[in-house]
Structure 1
Amino acid sequence: MKRSKFIIPLLLITLHGSAQTVKRLSLAEALSMAAKGNRQLQIQALEEAHQKEITRESRSRLLPNVVAGGSYQRYFDRQVIFLPGSFAGTAKPVQDVAVGGKNAFNGLVSGSQPLLNESARRQAKAAGYDEKVQGEKTADLKGRLGMEIALAYFDMLFMQSQIALQQQSLVRNGKALKDTRSLFAQGRSLKQDTLRAFIAVENLRSSISYLRNNLEVAGIHLNRLMGVDNATLVELSDTLVPEIPLEGTSGLEDAMAAAMQRRNDMAIQKLETEKSGLELAVAKAERLPQIAAIGQYQLQAQADNFRLGQYVWPPTSFVGVQISMPIFTGNRVKAKVSQAAVRIKQEVIAQEDLEQSVRSELASLLAQWKEANEQLSIQQRTVELAELSYTMMDDRYRNGLSSRLELTDAELALTQAKLNYLQAIYHHKVIQVRLQRAQGLLQL
C-alpha cells in the first residue's frame, strides 16, 4: 500500500514530462512554421478573403438583376373601381363598380440590366483598390512577423550563448575557489580571498538561473509567434556568429530605392492616395444620369372559388428603358465631393510624410550598421587580447610569479570581453534584420 503512494506520483510526473516534445529548428524553419501557424496571419488572410467578397458585391451592381415573385389575396368584399355613370348605365357622374374575384393570384418575373451607372462602376473599381490594400497588408504583416521571429530567435541565441559563457566562467571560478580553499587550509591565503571567490561563484550561478528563466519565457513567446503549442520545447540549431554585411547597404539612395519598390506600407499608402482620387470621381458620378433596361412578365387570375384548373391566366409583359437623373439632393453630393477633395490632400501629405520617415529610418539604421561592423571588429580583437592576457597570467600564477587576485582579474576581463563580443554580434544581427525590414527585404 505504501509503495503505491509513491508509484502513482512518479507515473504522473513521467506522463507530464512525456507530454512535452522537444523540437530543434533553425531560423528558416521557424519562419516557415510561422507562415503556416501564426494566428494573426490567419486572421489577416480571412480579412483579405472578406474584402474579395466585398469587391464581388460591388461589381454585382453592374450585372443583370432578375426577380421572381408571387402573391395571393383573399378579399372579403370585391374590389371597387370608379367609372363614369354613363359607362356603368347609371345617371351618376361617377359610379363605383365592384369587380374581380375574392381570390386573387399574381405571379411575375422582372429583370433589369444597368446600361449606364458610372457611380456603381467607379465604386467597384474603388473596392478593387481595397482588395489590393488588404493584399499589401498581408505581405506587410508577414514582414513584421518575420522581423519579430528573427529578433526573438536571436534573443534566445544570445541568452544561450551567455549561459554557455557563464558556465565556462563558473568552471574557472569554481577551480579558483577550490584553489583558495586549499591555500587557506595551508595558511597561504587569506579568508577574504576565499570569501571573494565564493561570492563570485554564487553570483555566476544566480546569473545562469536568471538567464535560463528568461530563455524559457522567450521560448514561450517564440512558440506563440509560430503558432506552436507551449507543450513543445524549442531548441535552436543556429549559432550566434557574425555574418558578411548585407548587399545593397552601400548608400542611403540605394536603400531608399529598394524601400520604394518593396516596402508594403509605402505600397499601401500609394494605393490609398490613388483610391482617394477615385473616391472623388465616385462622388462626382452621383450627378450623372443612370440608364437601365427593364422587363417584366406577369400572370394573374381572380375567382371566387379554388378550382385552379378552371382559372384563366392572362399574361402581361413589357420591356423598356428606365432613366433617372438627379436634380437636387440637398447638397449631399456637393458635400461628398468636398470630403473627397479633403481626403486627397490628407493622403498626399501622408505619403510625403511616410517617405521622409522611411528615409530617416534608413539613414539611422545605416549609421548603426556601420557602427555595428566597427564594434564587431573591435570586440573580436579585444577577445583575442583578453585570451592572451589570461593565458599569460595563468602561466605566471602557476609559476608563482603572480597572485590569485591578478589571475581572477584576468579571468573577469576575459569573461567581460567575451560578453561584449556576444553583445556586438547580437547587436550586429539585430541591426541587420531591422535594415532588411526597413528595405522591405524580409518576409516569411
Structure 2
Amino acid sequence: MRLLLTLSLLGSLSACSLTPTLERPAAPVPASFPMASNATASTLPASAVGWRAMFGDPRLQRLIDLALVNNRDLRLATLNVQAAQAQANIQRAARLPAVGLEGARTRERTLSTDATGQTNREVNQQTGVGVALSAFELDLFGRVRALSDAAFARYLASEQGRDAAQIALVGAVAEAYFAQRLADEQLQLTERTLADWQQSLELARLLKQAEQNSSLDVAQAEGQVALAEADLEARRRALAQADNALQLLVGSELPDDLPAALPLERQPLIAQLPAGLPADLLLNRPDLRQAEQTLVAANADIGAARAAFFPQISLTASFGHASTSLGGLFDPAQQVWRFVPQISQPLFHGGRLRGELHLAEVRKSEAVAQYERTIQTAFREVADALAGTATYDRQIEAQLRAVNAAERRRTLSELRYRAGTDGRLELLDAQRQLQSTRQALLELRRAEIANRVALYKSLGGGLHERDRAAIAAATTAQ
C-alpha cells in the first residue's frame, strides 16, 4: 500500500503539460503619457500614497473609514475572494490522493436449497476495516494540474478585483463627498443671492412709492426673486440627493459626530502626483492585474481541454482486514486488499471535446482583448486626468477674474441705479451675471478636485491608508 501511494504521487508530479506558453500582448498604448509633468510632490508612486495623505479633510477621512467597513459592494467583493480561494483549494486537492478510513459491518440472511429440495435459511455476517484510496487520477497529461492552475489564477484575479473595488469605493466616496459640498455651497450661494434680490425688490417698491420708478421695475424685481426662490428649491433637492448618494456609498446612516466640513476652496488635496510611464500601470493598478490573471486562467483552460483528448488513468485501492467475527478482525490471516486501476480513452463524443477546446481558445482570445482594452482604458483615464491637471489651474484663475469683474459691475450698476443714471434692466443683468459666474466658479472648483481624485484613482491610489507623516517617513527612507 505504501508503494502504491508513492507511485501515485510520483505519477502526479511527473505529469506533462499541454498548456500553451502564455505570451502577454504588448501594451497597445504610447510609451508615455501626453501632458505629463515632471514636477512631482513625492518620489513615491501615486499607488503608494495613502488615502489619508491624499484627502486631508477629517470629515472625508471618517466617511471613507465608514465605507470600508459598511459598504455592501466591497463586502461582496471580499466574499467573492473567499469563494474563489475555496474553489482553488478544492481544485488543488484533486491533485493529491484521497485516502480514507472505511469500516463496515454486514449482516444478511440468505436462502439455499439442498439436494432434498428443502429450503434452508442462513444468517451471515462480516466486519471489515481498512484504508482506501478512491479513484485517484494519475495526471500524466496535466489535465488536473491545468484545472488547478486556472482555479488559482481566478483566485488571484478575485483578490485583485477586491483591491480594485476598494480603490473604486474610496474614489467614489470622495467624489460623492465633494458633490455634496458643491451642492451645499451652491445652496448657500443661492440663499445669499435670494436675500440680495429681496432687498433689491424692497428698494424697487420704495422707489415706486416715491414715484422715482415705474411698476415695470417692481415687476422685474419680483420676477427675479421668484426665479431665485425656484432655484433655491432646486438646490435643496440637489443637496438632499447628494446626501442620499453619499449615504449609500458609506453603507450606513451618517453619524452626528462627523468633523466639520471644509469648503471646496480649502480642501487639502495633494496637487501633484507622479504619473510615471504607462508600463507602471501594470504594476500599480489592480484591475490590470485582475485582467492579467483572467488571461492566465483562460490559457490554463486550454491545457485542460487539450488533455481531455488523452487517456485518463485512475487508481482505486484498499487495504485492511475482514472477518466474520469481531474477535478475529485484526488477525494477520484476515488481511484483504483490493487494487483497481482504470483507464479511459475517449473515442467518440460527438465533437464535444473539440468544441470545448475551441471554446477555451475563444475565451482566451476574449481575455486577450479584455486585457488590451483594460490597458487602453487605464491609459485614457490617466491621460484625461493629466490634461485636466495641466489646464484647470489656469481656467480657475481666469474664472476668478471674471467673478471679480462681475462684482465690480454689479456694485457700479447698483450705484448708478440708485442715482437714477441707469435703468432697472442694467442692474438685473449685472446681478444675474454675478450669480452665474459665482456658480460657475463653484462648479469649476469641484471639477478640478474631481480631476485630482480621478488622477489619484487612475494611478492605482486608494488601496493604502497611510497618512502624510508615513509618506514623509517612507520618502526619507528611500
Indicate the TM-score class for this superposition, using the shorter chain for normalisation. 0.7 to 0.9
1:350-371 C-alpha deviation (Å, 9 max, x unpaired)? 3223333433444444444444
* Corresponding position of 1:36: 69
Whether 1:248 aligns to 2:274 is: yes
Give the CA deviation at 1:76: 3.6
The answer to whether the 8 Å contact 2:321/2:329 transfers is: no
1:145 Cα offset (Å) = 2.0
What's the counterpart of residue 75 of structure 1?
A: 109
Paired residue type of 1:342: V
The residue aligned with 2:319 is 296
- Gapped regions of structure 2 (runs ≥ 5): 1-56, 465-478
Q: How does 1:323-342 map to 2 (within 5 A)?
A: 323-330=341-348, 333-342=353-362
Change beyond 3 A, Cα 1:407–1:338: closer
Can you list the C-alpha shifts for 1:351-406, whole angstroms capped at 9, x where unaligned? 22333343344444444444434422221221122223333344445555544543
Residues 1:234 and 1:218: Cα distance change in structure 2 (over 3 Å) = farther
TM-align CA RMSD: 3.5
Q: 1:237 to 1:328 in 2, by over 3 A?
A: same
CA distance in 1, matches of 2:417, 2:231: 27
Question: Which of 194-203 and 184-193 deviates more?
Answer: 194-203
Displacement after TM superposition at 1:167 (Å): 1.4
Q: Match of 1:47?
A: 80
Corresponding residue number in structure 2 for 1:266: 288
Specify which of 371, 385, 389 is matched with residue 405 of structure 2: 385
1:316 maps onto 2:349 in alignment: no
What amino acid sits opposite 2:68 in the alignment? A
**C-alpha spacing 1:316/1:103, structure 2 compared with 1 (3 Å):** same
Q: CA deviation at 1:440?
A: 2.5
In structure 2, how many angstroms separate the alpha carbons of the residues matched to 1:196 and 1:297? Answer: 103
Residue among 360, 364, 378 paired with 1:358: 378
Judging changes above 3 Å, is the alpha-carbon distance between structure 1 residues 310 and 337 closer, same or farther for their aligned structure 2 residues?
A: closer
Cα offsets for 1:248-278 (capped at 9, x unmatched): 35xxxx4633433222222121111111221
SS at match of 2:103: strand
The corresponding residue for 1:4 is none
1:88-127 Cα offsets, whole Å, 9 max, x none, are: xx9xxxxx9x999513233232322859434333322221
For residue 427 of structure 1, give the secondary structure of its aligned residue in structure 2. Answer: helix
**Higher normalized contact order (CA 8 Å, seq sep 6+, divided by chain length):** 2
Q: Which amino acid aligns with 1:259?
A: L
Q: Name 1:112's counterpart in structure 2.
A: 133
Equivalence for 2:157? 133
Q: Which residue of 2 aligns with 1:142?
A: 166
What is the distance in 1 between the residues matched to 2:262 and 2:222? 34
SS in 2 for 1:26: helix
Deviation at 1:430, TM superposition (A): 2.4
Q: Distance in 2 between matches of 1:234 and 1:209?
A: 26
Q: Give the letter aligned to residue 423 of structure 1.
A: E
Higher alpha-carbon Rg: 1
Match of 1:21 in 2: none
Contact 2:197 2:225 in 1 (8 A): yes
Q: Distance in 1 between matches of 2:241 and 2:112?
A: 82
CA–CA separation in structure 2 for the residues paired with 1:381 and 1:109: 90
> What percentage of residue pairs aligned between the two structures are identical?
19
The code of the aligned residue for 2:92 comes to R
**What letter matches 2:336 in structure 1?**
S
**Residue 184 (1) aligns with residue 205 (2):** no
Amino acid at match of 1:260: L
Q: Matched residue of 2:234: which SS?
A: helix
Cα–Cα, structure 1 residues 154 and 255, in superposed 2: closer, same or farther, change >3 Å? Answer: farther
Residue 174 of structure 1 is aligned with which of 168, 182, 198?
A: 198
Out of 262-271 and 329-338, give the one that drifted further: 329-338
What is the aligned counterpart of 1:121 among 141, 145, 150?
A: 145
How many angstroms does 1:412 deviate by? 2.0
Change in Cα spacing, 1:63 to 1:310, as seen in structure 2 (3 Å) is closer
Return 426-435 or 168-177, whichever deviates more. Answer: 426-435
Q: Which whole-Å CA distance do the structure 2 matches of 1:45 and 1:440 have between them?
A: 19
Q: Secondary structure at the match of 1:330?
A: coil
Do structure 1's residue 282 and structure 2's residue 282 form an aligned pair? Answer: no
Question: Is the 1:219–1:233 Cα contact (8 Å) retained in structure 2?
Answer: no
Distance of 1:135 and 1:158 partners within structure 2: 35
Q: In 1, Cα distance between the equivalents of 2:201 and 2:191?
A: 15
Offset at residue 289 of structure 1 (A): 5.5
Letter in 2 for 1:119: R
Q: Which AA in structure 1 matches 2:289? A: A
| Residue from 222, 235, 239 that aligns with 1:198 | 222
Structure 1 residues 25, 220: CA separation in 2 closer, same or farther (over 3 Å shift)? farther
Separation (CA, whole Å) in 2 of partners of 1:422 and 1:323: 77
| C-alpha contact 1:301 1:312 (8 A) present in aligned 2 | no
Cα distance in structure 1, aligned partners of 2:329 and 2:371 = 70
Contact 2:183 2:239 in 1 (8 A): yes
